A and B are shown apart, each in its own frame.
Chain A
Amino acid sequence: MFDSDIPVYLIILSPIISFLVNSIFIRIFFGTNSKISGLLTIFTISISFLFSLLALYHVNSNGNYEYDSRLWFSYGSFEIGFGILLDQLTAIMLVVVSGVSLLVQIYSIGYMKNDISYVRYYAYMSLFTASMLGLVTSRNLVQLFVFWELVGVTSYLLIGFWMNRPSAAKAAKKAFLMTRFGDFGFLFGIMYLASKNPEWLDIPTLYNAVHLPDFTHTVATIFSIALLAGAVGKSAQFPLHSWLPDAMEGPTSVSALIHSATMVTAGVFLIARIFPIISLSDESQIILSFIGAFTVIFAASMALVSNDIKRVLAYSTVSQLGYMMLALGIGAYGPAIFHLLTHAFFKAALFLGSGSLHHSTGTFNLKYMGGMKKIMPVTYWSMLIGSLSLAGIFPLSGFWSKDEILSSLFNDFSFLSPNSILFFLAIIGVFMTSFYMFRAIFLAFDGEFRGGGTQEKKDLKKKGLVIPETLEDVHKSEAPKVMLIPVLILVFFAIFLGFFVNPVFDIPLISKHWFSNLLFQNVPVFGDNVHHTDFKFLIAIISSIIAIIGIMLAWAIYIKGYVSLPKNSFIINKLKILLDKKYFFDEIYEDKLVNSFLYNRLFKITEVLDLKFLDNINIYLGKFTLKIGQLLSIGQTGYLQFYAGGMILGVIILLCGIVLWNF
């Protein structure tokens, strides 16, 4: 079935068809709120999902497929191909992307029910899913870049979906520009590689070229660091992380899709794609792992104080992506992709759960929630399980994947080696993760109900502040079934996926380390140089204990009130402000870098150049032509005879010329 690449193209094209039909046909003939669009999108994405499952099955049994590259465009001897690369990584990503996307689309039927731009929402979502599916199947780096940018554009459209809200428009712009900043690195990397050898843009050729003598250490380092910049931008790693929390302005279902399974994982996917090149260069590996490790605790620390449940989840996403980057940086390819898989499911469940919370309370602010346990028990349990999974509690899926990353860090452990520092950062991250997640859960679901969106509106009015448009009135009801079922399916995977996909010992039907084995079948990437990460009992115990300590601390502070932070402590207040302001990164970027440096300094120079130099050229050019015109206008006497005489003179000259020429 997968002998030709047509089924793979079908996976990409069916959401594109849905996008076109939605935006051209349904929007015009059935109105902007037609329910057909949702059903159509779900249908097409389920086609993609089915074919993705088939692709995974075939890849599992037959190994990776390399289809012939078609010529896209050429310039002289420089040729760019267009084709499909269906290897193990692609097959897994296809299943994750189309699966999570499918569930989010189903959830959106309920969540976006009353939105006026229902059709536009589904059109964007289809295009977004299609471009992400195209990204993971790209065979050529240029092709990958095109889809990469398409993901950026559609995420811009989705984050700014409610474009009449200024904050959403701003957040969309910020997300687009900051990821573009990283994409510059990606583009540079592509151009650098093309300048060395254009054939290397083809990814399978690149894998084979790694062993050639042409492919020096310098080339590998420059190329991988350049692509690292793109991945850092897309996956919201430090220092290009600040767009992701703002991107929560989009609809919650969009956040669930963008920040769990698709867009942010594109960065991780890219690094995994060029893994053979990165592993050639120690420098870029160290940079990658330290960026990842630092982002883990950096983002988690901001999540500790955030009162917006979606922002808590956003920081958590950044932090978990840091784990994946860290794992890739130390060469733990299998654990990183495994964590990507499990994280996609439990984080999507958490986001969708927070959407249900908003549906019920009318706010995302944890201060105005509370006591929702009795009102929405299903959401409570699903979010609780999701959080436990995220915190890494046995036997949920997050435990297994996070444990693999920690175990691979522990492999060659010696005191004060880079790996030991990374390991301690990762362990601190585990503690913070469990703490902030359970802080959010306890604040939202335990205690007394604190008024929801209605109360928050009143308070804001009292203080004379602007009321955000996300605030709605309180419903106080469990979410409808169409929103619950996708969450429950995601929770089901969040519980069972971890062990059954990559069991630590042989179980019936599934062999030991099935998932890692599947990934390591990719011969061009790994060759025979494969090492599995074994389950380490010690690490499991340590990480579980630390996670439980985090949960207990949250329980002690936010439910029982045994421990309370000293109110007037100077350091704690300052720290709180620092975290609340996100380490002042927005201020640094906007005020210092953009306003002070770029706008007032650098662009002042060009302004002066423009005003003094270029403008004057124009002015003098104009004056010059004016003078010439005045000079020529002397010839215009206004007498008809003068003009006629001139004409006759011309005729005479022509005639004389003819005569002289001929005789």
Chain B
Amino acid sequence: MTLDSLLILSAAVFCIGLYGILSKTNIVSTIMSIELMFNGIIIAAVSFSRFTPSALLMNNSFDVSSFALNTALSGHVFGVFIISIAAAESALALALVFVMFNKKSSVDIVDFNELKG
């Protein structure tokens, strides 16, 4: 378990999610793929936090200030933020799916092409 392998995992999950978004027409599948991409990002953030400590910690290891410690786990904090955003996004997306279904009785993106030039 090294940083490299974790980054590869993160990139793989991200790209698979992206592929899901681009290749599926069902809006629920798309939302699911977005969640996958979010997960890939969180993995990257946490592994950076785990393996690349801040310079503040590295230079003065026995006398760390509370500021240095507060920044030590920034990746984790960002993970928390990303999860919150993802939860909000999926709630909103679900509401949109509801509206779309009410409007056209379909959740297929192909049916929503009003922007066609």
Q: Which residues of A contact B (CB under 8 A)?
A: 632-641, 644-645, 648
Contacts and interface: CB of A to CB of B under 8 A. Distances in A.
Contact of B113 (A633, A634, A637, A645): A637
A641 B21 contact: yes
A641 B113 CA distance: 11
Interface in B70-117: 109-110, 112-117
Nearest to B114: A638
A182 B115 CA distance: 62
A635 B117 CA distance: 7
A633 B116 CA distance: 8
A647 to B, nearest CB: 10
B22 interface: yes
Interface of B: 18, 21-23, 25, 30, 109-110, 112-117
B115 A638 contact: yes
Nearest to A631: B117
Contacts of A648: 18, 22
A659 to B, nearest CB: 14
Contacts of A632: 117
Nearest to B30: A640
Nearest to A639: B113
Interface-centre pick from A632, A635, A641 (highest chain B CB count, 10 A): A641
A261 B31 CA distance: 88
A635 B116 CA distance: 9
Closest 6 CB pairs of A and B: A633-B117, A638-B113, A638-B116, A636-B117, A640-B109, A638-B115
B111 to A, nearest CB: 10
A633 B117 CA distance: 5
B22 A636 contact: no
Contacts of B18: 648
B115 A644 contact: no
A580 to B, nearest CB: 73
A635 B23 CA distance: 19
A639 B18 CA distance: 16
A641 B115 CA distance: 13
Contacts of A645: 22
A641 B117 contact: no
Contacts of B21: 641, 644
A645 B109 CA distance: 14
Contacts of B23: 641
B109 A641 contact: yes
6 contacts: A636-B117, A637-B116, A640-B30, A641-B21, A641-B22, A644-B21
